[in-house]
Amino acid sequence: MENIKLHLETQFKKAFFDKVKEDLLKSPPDVEHITVIIEELVNGLCKFVPNKPEIHGFIKDDIFVKNIGFETMPRIIDRLIHWIEQFQAPIHDSVTKGWRDDYRNAKNYAEFISVFLEKYYLHTEMVYKETWEARKRIANGESAVPPEQRIVSGKNGIPDNMKSGGSVV
């Protein structure tokens, strides 16, 4: 039953983002659905800092524009990427760098925007889950680092292979 639910959810998301692409290809572009997605993404970014309304204001002021269209999308995309970079682990920086490069090299902006928004949505969900899990570990007095990444070989809690930040002279 869980597989069916997951499959339906995946298909629904795919259809929604396909509709965004279709809307952007209209002349003039229909931005109703993309506006809803951007609002959802902004609200999702605010959930990273639930008790910081001043940061919510910064995020909203930085991303929202009066008229969403091909002229304003470069700024919106840039700012969406900027804000997720503030919350994600550095290991994910290659993803956001790739998005920036892909946008610069895009030939079909409607295609890029619809694919980007879908990937961004999934990425923010994953980053939020990682952040939430780290916060739970910290609240329980544990390290923020996931247990599977804390594996150290050595004796008495001292790793066999240690590296320092400096060089030995």
Q: What is the pLDDT of residues 76-117, one digit of tens each?
A: 999 999 999 999 999 999 999 999 999 999 898 888 998 999
Q: Is residue 100 part of a domain?
A: yes
Q: Is residue 152 part of a domain?
A: no
Stated length of the chain: 169
pLDDT band at 146 (very low <50, low <70, confident <90, very high): confident
Q: How many domains does the chain have?
A: 1
Predicted pLDDT at 97? 96
Q: Is residue 169 part of a domain?
A: no
Q: Is residue 29 part of a domain?
A: yes
Q: Domain containing 111: what range?
A: 15-143
Q: Is residue 131 part of a domain?
A: yes
Q: Is residue 39 part of a domain?
A: yes
Q: Is residue 54 part of a domain?
A: yes
Predicted pLDDT at 85? 96
Between 104 and 11, name the one with better pLDDT: 104
Q: Is residue 27 part of a domain?
A: yes
Q: What is the pLDDT of residues 15-59, one digit of tens each?
A: 777 888 888 888 888 888 889 889 999 999 999 999 999 999 999
